Amino acid sequence: MSPDVLYLKTGEQLVIPCPVTHPNVTTTLVKYPNDSLSPDQRNIIWNSTQGFTIRSPTLYYTGLFFCQTITDGVTHLSHKYYIHRPVSNIMAVYLNSSGPVQALKGNSLVLNCTAKGELNTRVSIIWDYPGKSNNVGSTTKRLVKHRLHMLFYSILTIPKLQRSDRGLYTCRVTSGENTKQEQVNVTVYDRPFIHLRPRHRSVLEVQAGQKSYRISPKLKAFPAPEVIWFKDGMVAAEQCSRYHMDGHSLVIRDVAEEDAGKYTVLVQIQEHGLYKNLTLTLVVNVSPQIGEKAVSLQDPGSVPRGIRRALHCTSHGVPPPHIQWLWHPCPSKGLCVCPTSSSLWSLVTESLPATSTHNHILSVTHRQEVLQGKKKTVGVLTVAEAFVSGVYRCVASNSVGADQLDVHFYITDVPGGFSVNQQEEPREGGDLHLTCVANKYLYTALSWQRVNDTEGVQSHRSALSSQQFTSGEFSNSLVLLLSNLTARDAGTYRCSTRHLITGQETHLDTQVAVTILEPPVLRNNLTDCTVNVSSSVTLSCPSQGIPPPTITWYKDEHALSQGSGIVISPEDGTLHIDRITVEDQGLYTCQATNERGSAESSAYIWVTGASETSFLEIPTLTCTCVVATLFWLLLTLFIRKLKQPSASNTKPEYLSIILDTGEGPIEEQCERLQYDPNQWEFPRERLKLGKPLGRGAFGKVMQASAFGIDSASSCRTVAVKMLKEGATTNEHKALMTELKILNYIGHHLNVVNLLGACTKPGGPLMVIVEYCRYGNLSTFLKSKREVFVHNRLARGKDGGLSCVSGVSDSQSLVKTEFDHRDKTDNDLDPKSASSSLFLEDLISFSFQVARGMEYLASRKCIHRDLAARNVLLSDNKVVKICDFGLARDIYKDPDYVRKGDARLPLKWMSPESIFDKVFTTQSDVWSYGILLWEIFSLGASPYPGLHIDEEFCHRLKAGTRMRAPEYSTPEIYSTMLACWEASPSDRPTFTNLVETLGDLLQARVQQDGKDYIPLGSFMSGDTNRSDTLKENPLAVTNLSYMRGMATLQTFEELSCQEPDNPDDEQSDSGMVLPSEELKHMTWSNSTKKLSRFFGFKCRDNKVPFLCSDIPGLRDYEPSILPCDWESDEGGSPPPDYNSAFLYPSL
C-alpha cells in the first residue's frame, strides 16, 4: 500500500496522525529505515488521540515516517506517511549576455538562460522573442544538481538571423507562484561598420598637474574592434607608464607638460578589413615659470653707479606668457623691502625719463626664442644709467597663472659693495685712518675690531682711538682713527658687517704694519782729497734710516743744486763734479735728514794744477762736439727709418693671425675694422668663469659658463680670453684689435669662432669663443698611437673580412658642431679608449684644416703659426684652427726659439719667413705641409733628431726636405713636397689643397675595403706592381711623379753629428741665432725649385738611387733612425686648449 503524503510547510507545525486505542501504550516515531524518535515534550509531542506533533520541523523531517508500538511482545506498525516539503524559491535568473547583443545578419544567435533554485525546486522556463511565432528558434534544457542548490539551463538557438529577429528577448522562469525573468535587446546589422568622431572638438585642453585626464572619442563599431592609441606617432602605452587604456579611452595620470602632443586612435576590425583613425590635439596649459629663478643667487649683488645695465627675464608657459616690468624705489632711509600691495609698484614703460625715484629706461623689449626645445618669452629691460636703487619685478602671466622674479637693483659707489682701505701709510707717531665702506641696502651694523684682541680695538688706546660713522647716498662708512701710532698698533684689523638679504655675517681684514722710524746713519764718512784741474771727482754719501733719509749737499755751508758739471744722485746720495775748476775747491758737507733727525759728514777738496786752459782742451772739446753732432744725426735717421712702415714690421705687436699686408698697412686696416656691441656684447653677470685652460706671459684663457649666449641652449660652455692683471695699454689694444679681426673673419666650421665679448667699462676686457673640449690635435694624435688602424677592414678569426665601425663617407666626417647635443658622451668622445683612429681620420683632419685655411685666405688673413698644436679637436672629430698668442708663454714653450729679440717656431716656417720676415698665404702653405707631416706621423716633432742651426738653414735652402712620415700615402707625401716648393708661387693654394684632399678622402672611403698601397711596397721594385695599381687606383695618380723622387735629397741621408758646444737654449722646435748671425744669412730664391713631378736633382748626389733606396719612400726601421732621435717625452706638450690669441711679433 502506497504511503500517504504529508506536506511540510515553512512556519507551521507538522502532525503525523497515528492515534492508538490504548493510551498507555509506548509509541515511537520511526524515520525510514530505522531512525527512532521518542517524544521529548518540547519539539516532539505525543498525543494518543492525534499522534506526533513536530512544532518546528526542519528538512530532517522530510522522507518516509511511520509509528511503532509493542504490546505483549508483538510489534504493531502504523500506516506509512511520506513527508514532502514543497519548494518554489527561485534564487536567481540570468542570461549569458549582460548587455545588449549585437549580431550580423545571417549569423547564428545563442542565448543561455540560467535559473538557480533551492533543492527540490521545480521550475518552468519560457522564452518570448520576436520570431517565436514563426518557430525560427529551438530550445534545449538541462538540469544540474549541486549540494545546496539546483541549476536549470534553457538555451535558445536561432541558426540564421534576419532583420526581423531584432528586438527584445525575454527568459521567464516560474516555480509555483513565484516568477522571475531576464531580458536582452538584440540588434541585427546588415554589415560590419566603424563610426568614429570627436566627442566635443579635436583640440583638447588640460592643465598641467591635473590628477588624471581621459581622452575619449565617440566610437560605435561592430564587431568589437581593436583599439590602439598613439602619441606623436608612437604607441602611447609604451612611451609612459602613466598612460593606460580604459575601454576605447586613453587615461593620462598626473598630467605633465610633456604630455602635450597629437594623439591618434586607431580602430580596426582586421577580419573584415575595416580601419579608421582619429587624431586629437592635446594642449597642456602650463603656468609661467621664470628660468632665471633657477640660476639667480640669493645675494642680489650691486650695480656700479652710472652704468648701463640690461635685465633679462626668460619665462616659459602655455599659452606664451605676457611679461611686464614693475618698479619700486628704495626709501632714502631704512631697509629696502618689496611691498605686498600692488599699488606701491609702478609699471615700467619704454623711454621712461630719469627722475629722483626712477632710472632712465632705454628700452623694454620682448621676443620669442626656442631654448632647450621649449618656446620661451624673453623680456629685456635696459636701464640707460643706474642712479636710483630699488627693486625691478618681472611678472610673467597667462590664462593659467603667473610667476614673478624680483631683481634687486642696488646702486653702489663701492667696488663689490663692501671694501676696506687705508688712507695713509702707517708710521710711528703718525695718524692712520681705516675706512670701511658698505652698500647701505645690502649691509648693516658696521664695526671695527682687532683680530685676536679680546678687549677690542681700544683696549690699550681708548683715549687715542675714535670711530666715525657716515651715511651717504649709496653707502655707509665707518672710519677708525688710530692717532700717534706705536708698534703696539701693528696687527690685523677687521671690519665686520651683516648682510641684510642673507643675514650672514661677513668681514674684511686689513693688515696694519707700523713703520718704526729710525734716525739717519751714514755708512761711511767723507774724506779730504786733492784733485787736479779739469779732472772729475765723485763723493759718495751712503746712508740708512726709516724713512729713507733725504740727502742734501752743501759747499761752504751753502746748499748745492744740479747744474752744469754738477750731478747729484738722490737715490744713492752721490755728488759728481765734472771738469773741476779752482772755484770748486772748498768744504763739502753731506747731510742725511728724515723725521727722526739728521746726520752729516764733511770733507775738503783741494784743487791743484795750472789755471790756464790745457793745450789739449780746445781740440778735445771740438772733436767731442763733432762726434756728438754726427751721432745725433745718425740716431735721428735710425729712428725715422724705424718709424717707416715695411712689409715685415707693420703688423700689430702681439697679433699672430694678421691681415694681408697687400691690402695696405695693418695699422690702417685695424683702424678701419669695426666692433658692433649690439651684435657681440654679452653681460658679464651672465658669465661664470671656471678653471684656467691656458696661461701665458700676458694673457690667459678661462673655461666659463655663459647663460643665454645662443639660442641652442640656456647654458653653454665657452672659452674666455682675457689679459692678466697689470697688462699694458698696448696689450689691451692688441686684444681689442684681435676681437675686431675675429669679428671681421666671421664664422666657419673649421675655425674657432667668436661668440661674444665684454668690452664695457667696469670690468676686464673678455673675448668669448667656442670651447673645444678635446684639446689640441698634436696631443690627441700622440694619445692614439696604440690604437691607430691602417685599414678600416680587419681580418676576422674565420679568415673573412670584418668591417671596423667608422665613418662611411666624407660628409659624415665633417658634421655641424651642434650634432653632439643629441648623442651620448660615449658616442662623442674621440679620446675613448675603445675609439680607434683610422687613416681616413688623418685625411679628414688634413682636409678640414685646408678648408679652414682656405676660408682664412679668402678673408685676406695670414696665420703665421699653423701647426698641430694650434688646431683644436671638437665633437664628432671636427677640427678647428686657432691661434694661442698671449695665452701661451712662448718664452717657456720649446716650440718657440729666439731669433734676435723674438721667439719663432722655426721648424714650421718657410725659408722666406726665416730669412726675409715675409709672411704670406703661401708661407702658410709651407707650414701646412709641416702640419701634414705631424698628422701622418701621429704627432711626432718635425725634423726628428736634427740640430736646428745655420747649417740646417742652408740645407733647407738648398732643397733638402724631410722624408715621408710613417703613415703617409704616396699622394699625401706628394702633397707635402708640393707645399715645400722653394718658390712660393710654385706652391699650391689652399683651394687646390681642398680639392685634392677632398677627392682623396671621398675615394678613400669608397674603396669597398681595398687597402691603399704603402709607399715602401710601391717603390720596392715589385714586378707585380702594375697589377697592384689596377686593383687600387688610389695608390698613385701618375707613376712619373713618383719616379722623380729618386733624386730628392732628405735630411735622413745626412750624417748626424753632435755639435761640439750645443746651445743651452736649443729646443726641439728650432734654433737660437743671434741677430748678428742672421744678418749674414740671406734668402735668395735662386735654388732650383722642386718640380711638381719631383724631378729635383741634388748637386751633392753624384750616384743615382735605386727605387728601393729612396729615403722617405719606405717604412722606418729602428736601425736607420738618426743617432739623436728624441722621444716625445723630451719636450713639454702644448696646452690642452687656447683660442685665437696673441704673441709678440715675429
- The residues annotated as belonging to the active site are 865
In this structure, is the dihedral angle defined by the CA atoms of residues 914, 916, 919 and 922, taken in order, positive or negative? negative
CA–CA gap between residue 855 and residue 858 (Å, rounded):
5
Strand, helix or coil for residue 499:
strand
Backbone angles phi, psi at 505, to 5 degrees: -85, 135
In this structure, is the dihedral angle defined by the CA atoms of residues 996, 997, 1003 and 1004, taken in order, positive or negative? positive
CA–CA gap between residue 887 and residue 724 (Å, rounded):
10
State the CB neighbour count (10 A cutoff) for residue 1027.
10
Q: Quote the cell numbers at residue 817.
A: 658642431
Burial class of residue 1127, CB neighbours in 10 A (0-12, 13-18, 19+): exposed
**957 in Cβ contact with 1080 (< 8 Å):** no
**867 in Cβ contact with 908 (< 8 Å):** yes
> Within 604-751, where are the H helices?
617-643, 666-672, 677-680, 729-745
CA–CA gap between residue 34 and residue 296 (Å, rounded):
100
Quick check: bond before 548 cis, omega within 30? Answer: no
Chain-centre distance of CA 320, in angstroms? 27
Give the burial string for 924-940 (b: 16+ CB within 10 Å, else e): bbbbbbbbbbbbbbbbb
Q: Tell me which residue of 538, 544, 555 sits closest to 593, measured CA to CA.
A: 544
Helix (H), strand (E) at residue 777: helix 777-783
| Binding site listing for ATP | 694-701, 721, 869
Helix (H), strand (E) at residue 555: strand 550-555
**551 in Cβ contact with 543 (< 8 Å):** yes
∠ CA(977), CA(981), CA(984), 5° rounding? 140
Strand, helix or coil for residue 107:
coil
Q: Quote the cell numbers at residue 738.
A: 684681435
**870 in Cβ contact with 882 (< 8 Å):** yes
DSSP characters for 690-733? EEEEEE-SSEEEEEEEEETSSSS-SEEEEEEEEEPTT--HHHHH
Tell me the β-bridge partners of 694: 701
261: left (phi over 0), alpha (psi -120 to 50) or beta: left
CA atoms within 13 A on the CB side of 252: 27
Q: Quote the cell numbers at residue 798.
A: 674565420
**978 in Cβ contact with 1096 (< 8 Å):** no
| Binding site listing for Mg(2+) | 870, 883
| Binding site listing | 694-701, 721, 869-870, 883
Let me know how many helices (H) and strands (E) the chain has, helices first: 19, 68
Backbone angles phi, psi at 306, to 5 degrees: 85, 0
**82 in Cβ contact with 167 (< 8 Å):** no
CA dihedral 610, 612, 614, 617 (to 10 degrees): 130
CA–CA gap between residue 722 and residue 767 (Å, rounded):
7
DSSP character at residue 832: -
**860 in Cβ contact with 659 (< 8 Å):** yes
CA–CA gap between residue 903 and residue 1138 (Å, rounded):
19
∠ CA(890), CA(892), CA(898), 5° rounding? 60
Residues 6+ apart with CB under 8 A from 417: 301, 302, 410, 438, 439, 442, 443
**1122 in Cβ contact with 946 (< 8 Å):** yes
